[in-house]
């Protein structure tokens, strides 16, 4: 089943995992130490993130390391950028309205 990347990042635990591995690759056991849940639960989150291509696996001997897939995160950022521009425009318009109201009160 193909998962939606936005469903994946909607979960707070998965966002926390992304934040953890953003700086360095980590094993599932190392990641699980940061959470108050089972290793199996963390593995399920990692599987979902991997299916969405937000994280990638690297095998080193018997260990599997998970790291952030930067290009996929850039795709999310590009999608959000269109809305960021809309919000900034609206905030600028609100600033203008507030400035006008402030000037008229003087």
The three-state (H, E, C) secondary structure of the chain, written as one string: CCCCHHHHHHCHHHHHHHHHHCCCCECHHHHHCCCCCCHHHHHHHHHHHHHCCCEEEEEECCEEEEEECHHHHHHHHHHHHHHHHHHHHHHHHHHHHHHHHHHHHC
The token duo for 53 is: 């291509």
Which class for 15: exposed (0-12), middle (13-18), buried (19 or more C-beta within 10 A)?
middle
- Residue whose structure tokens are 């993130």: 49
pLDDT at residue 1, rounded to an integer: 56
CA distance 89 to 104: 23
Query: What are the pLDDT digits (tens) for 36-80?
Result: 988 999 999 999 999 999 999 999 999 999 999 988 888 888 888
Confidence tier at 105 by pLDDT (50, 70, 90): confident
pLDDT at residue 56, rounded to an integer: 95
Residues of the chain with pLDDT > 70, as a percent, come to: 98
The token duo for 88 is: 């900034």
Specify the pTM: 0.75
- Helix-helix angle 39-51:12-21, to 10 degrees: 80
């Amino acid at each position: 089943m193909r998962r939606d990347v936005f469903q994946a990042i909607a979960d707070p635990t998965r966002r926390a995992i992304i934040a953890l591995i953003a700086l360095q690759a980590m094993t599932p056991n190392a990641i699980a130490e940061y959470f108050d849940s089972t290793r199996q639960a963390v593995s399920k989150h990692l599987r979902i993130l991997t299916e969405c291509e937000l994280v990638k696996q690297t095998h080193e001997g018997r260990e599997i390391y998970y790291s952030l897939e930067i290009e996929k995160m850039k795709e999310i950022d590009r999608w959000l950028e269109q809305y960021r521009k809309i919000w900034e425009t609206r905030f600028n318009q609100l600033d203008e309205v507030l400035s006008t109201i402030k000037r008229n009160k003087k």
